[in-house]
Amino acid sequence: MKEIEISVAQSSFPSSYVSDAEKNTQEFGLRIGQAIQHEWFRQDNGGCRFYSQWADFHKSRLYARGEQSSSKYKNELSVDGDLSYMNLDWTNVSILPKMVDIVVNGTNDRLYDVKAYAQDASSIEKRNKYQDSIEADMVAKDLLMQIKDDTGVDAFNTDPKELPTNQDELSLHMQLNYKDSIELAEEASIKTILSENKYKDIKKQSYYDIATIGIGIEKHEFLPGAGIKISHVDPANAIYSYTEDPHFKDCFYWGEVKLVPVTEVMKIDQSLTTEDLKKISAFSDSWTQTYRPTTAYGSGLFQEGSVTLIYFSYKTTKKFVYKKRVSDTGAEKVIQKDDTFNPPSEMMEEGRFEKIEKTIDVWYDGVMVAGSNYLLKWELAENMARPKAATQDVLSSYVACAPRMYKGSIGSLLKRMIPFADLIQLTHLKLQQVLLKMVPDGVFIDADGINEVDLGNGAAYNPEDALKMYFQTGSVIGRSFTQDGEFNHARVPIQELNSNSGQSKINSLVTSYNHYLGMLRDVTGLNEARDGSMPDDRALVGIQKMAALNSNTATRHILDAGIDMTRDMAEGLSYRISDVLEYAEFKEEFVMKIGKYNVDLLNEISDLPLYDFSIFIEVSPDEEEKSQLEQNIQMALSKNGIDLEDAIDVREIRNVKLANQLLKVKRKKKRDHEEEMRMQAQQMQAQINMQSQQAAAQISMQKIQGEAQAKMQVSQAEAAFSIERMKGEAEIKSQLMQLEFQMKMKIRGIEVDAAKQKDTERNDAESGRISLRNTQQSKMIEQRKKDLPAIDFESSEDSLDGFDLAEFEPR
């Protein structure tokens, strides 16, 4: 069986415009497998694309581990291939492992968070409704505040303190504060799957691959009975169609080359007979002998009983055809047909039906025995990751990124280091060689000079005594003249020999070593500040940080590549989650598994298939971005532009752009708040002043009122006193008047009595006068009659019977 010859025949990919029935045939799948095999395993100049790339990746990985072959250095130092005179330590200097670890570990420390954005019509309508409610509060804020103050009823939909004041703040509020429950459920689902599959460890492997060989590959798939699985794919075993896209979006086939036991073949295709398995095993043995990958893989991997299989996925199209019929009642009925259904238009018009078709992209999965025509599997892939949008796209199960790809050639950070790493290793070996050739310093003893020395005690001054004295005391005895009186050229019989120590060579090699190490840092950007190996004690801390930040910038493409892969992986998981919740038998188990992290989202998780999401990765800022943001925060704090609570809120946001926008909003709100407080203080001060003036006026009024009241009281007292006095006077007057009246009455009585008495007396006098006159008249009559002499009637007194006539005088 081992005499079977492996022949990778030239083959091209079949047309994708054939019918779906033909695409489902084994012959079509075999042609696909042979075309892929021809692209990757045809031998050109003794090699093939797959194993050449494998050997290149293997070499880079050995350098990254510090385990590269020493044969290159031995060829440089050997003389005609002879190393018998060299006793060197050929262990590699582990410079590159340190550099790679710095990059990978520093990159993997960057925290990120998966964010889901619901972009279906229902979610957008809900988001717009929420935004409209906020805008309504913004417009009616003054009125709603007045209602709240007057009636105590809070009619706000949003806290007035958190209410935006303009459209920019509204946009920021929607990004930071609005999160639909269905989006939270989607994020929780993705994070749960990543956690269950220990994606953090897979991510470390991907970062390591990108740094060392320039490409990282991951895979997501749905396995019956196991659910959604994420795995790391070794790029050395991966096969894919030619592409110049660093993210491999346009690849129409993907695959892996795996070495599996023969028993695994029986699980893939149970229809194989024992004879078939023997032939497959023979093909595998011949494959191993043809390509001889044993030396590359190492002994023990290609053991007997193993088979090299090519697992591949091929992207093509599939046409879905439906017959839409309208009944007499107007009801519509849709029946699925195959792609050969193509009735004439006349028949469709007469039969009152029409043909509906849609072409979408699909993946076919296949497994082929390498180097043979055995196709173990060819079928339409199940559980494909497909967006819910009305597009024909379908995602590949493989997620890859090669940030430094050009024309299909993959470059890596490590490849830049290899030339200088080789020079550093050669310099290290040369330094060993110089050190091994170094000899200690010695002394020169002139025997003739010693013989000329006489110690004077009869003892001989031999070389042994001279050396003891020299090494113990550092003194040497010599003679300037010989015994014959001639000048003694050997007057210093012992002289120190300075052998060639090679110090200049060592200094030159050390300088070269440092030069190549500096070049290594220059081409990669990994300076001393990045690894802290040679910190400058005179440099400020800020300068050291800036140097480290510049180094991070030089390796940013590795971080970006990993983040892009994480985003694509999360996007694929999003589509697979919907399929699991909609079609899988263990839907309830999956929901409960996610629900153990967040019970509140159980109801929303079941509704995920109804929504369409867009996935984003929010990466925590690096040191440079943190430094710039922190500078802005400190400046705002120093100028009292924000409070400490605001600074804490800003620091918690991973998106630096949003953090800076929030910082601006916080500063504006603080400024507006301070202005409002200042206005309120002014109003309060004015109110206090007014109240003070009112109080002063009131006090003055009260004083005036008091004075008036006092005056009034005084006046009232005076009036009362006057009244009382008048009352007293009146009473006295009344008494006096009464007394006067009584007196007058008495006087009047007396006067009346006197008048009466006077009248009586007058009447009596009148009567007497009348009587007298009558008497006199009678006398006169009698006198006339009698002619008597005149009669003298005058009395000798002025009073008549004591009555004074003077009373009748006028007054």
- Average pLDDT (395-415) is 91
Task: Provide the 10 A C-beta neighbour count for residue 544.
Answer: 16
Grade residue 455 by pLDDT with cuts at 50, 70 and 90: low
Q: What is the token pair recorded at 610?
A: 């109804």
Kindly state the percentage of the chain with pLDDT values over 90: 13
**pLDDT surpasses 60 at 535:** no
Q: What is the mean pLDDT of the chain?
A: 78
Report angle CA 29, 246, 219 to the nearest 5 degrees. Answer: 55
- Average pLDDT (367-385) is 86
What pLDDT is attached to residue 540? 40
**Which residues are CB-neighbours of 637 under 8 A, at least 6 positions away?**
644, 647
Residue among 617, 574, 527, 560 nearest 206 (CA)? 560
**pLDDT surpasses 80 at 769:** no
**pLDDT surpasses 70 at 604:** no
What pLDDT is attached to residue 533? 53
Q: What is the token pair recorded at 185?
A: 């459920």
What are the pLDDT digits (tens) for 234-264? 999 999 999 999 999 999 999 999 888 888 8
Q: How many angstroms separate the CA atoms of 612 and 390, rounded?
A: 11
Of the ranges 426-435, 493-502, 746-755, the best mean pLDDT one: 426-435
Q: How many angstroms separate the CA atoms of 582 and 570, rounded?
A: 18
What pLDDT is attached to residue 6? 63
Q: What is the token pair recorded at 690?
A: 């007014």
- Average pLDDT (415-434) is 89
What are the pLDDT digits (tens) for 740-764? 777 777 777 777 777 777 777 777 7
Amino acid sitting at position 805: L
Report angle CA 385, 565, 616 to the nearest 5 degrees. Answer: 80
* CA trace torsion 544, 549, 553, 559 (10° rounding): 130
Q: How many angstroms separate the CA atoms of 374 and 80, rounded?
A: 50
Parallel, antiparallel or unpaired: strands 442-445 and 494-497: antiparallel
564 and 247 Cβ atoms separated by less than 8 Å? yes
Q: What is the DSSP letter of 791?
A: P
Q: What is the 3-state secondary structure (H, E, C) of 459-488?
A: CCCCHHHHHHHHHHHCCCCCCCECCCCCEC
What pLDDT is attached to residue 299? 43
- Average pLDDT (484-491) is 73
Output phi, psi for 316, to 5 deg.
-145, -165
Q: How many angstroms separate the CA atoms of 223 and 791, rounded?
A: 193
What pLDDT is attached to residue 301? 45
**pLDDT surpasses 70 at 397:** yes
What pLDDT is attached to residue 488? 73
For residues 321-331, one letter each, b for 16 or more C-beta atoms within 10 angstroms of the residue's C-beta and e for the rest, the string is bebeeeeeeee
Of the ranges 97-106, 173-182, 408-417, 635-644, the best mean pLDDT one: 408-417
Of 386 and 564, the one with more pLDDT: 564
Q: Could you tell me how many residues make up the chain?
A: 811
What are the pLDDT digits (tens) for 80-130? 777 776 778 888 888 889 888 888 887 766 677 888 888 877 778 888 888
Block residue for tokens 């310099």: 427
Task: Provide the 10 A C-beta neighbour count for residue 631.
Answer: 10
- Average pLDDT (20-43) is 89
- Average pLDDT (12-36) is 89
- Average pLDDT (587-610) is 62
Of 266 and 783, the one with more pLDDT: 266
For residues 517-542, one letter each, b for 16 or more C-beta atoms within 10 angstroms of the residue's C-beta and e for the rest, the string is beebbeebbbbbbbbeeeeeeeeeee
Q: How many angstroms separate the CA atoms of 86 and 75, rounded?
A: 12
Element (H, E) at 110: none
What is the DSSP code string of 690-736?
Answer: HHHHHHHHHHHHHHHHHHHHHHHHHHHHHHHHHHHHHHHHHHHHHHH
Enter the pTM of the model.
0.72
For residues 371-402, one letter each, b for 16 or more C-beta atoms within 10 angstroms of the residue's C-beta and e for the rest, the string is bbebbbbbeebebbbbbeeeeeebbbbbbbbb
* Range of lowest pLDDT (321-325, 467-471, 536-540, 699-703): 536-540
**pLDDT surpasses 60 at 275:** yes
What pLDDT is attached to residue 584? 60
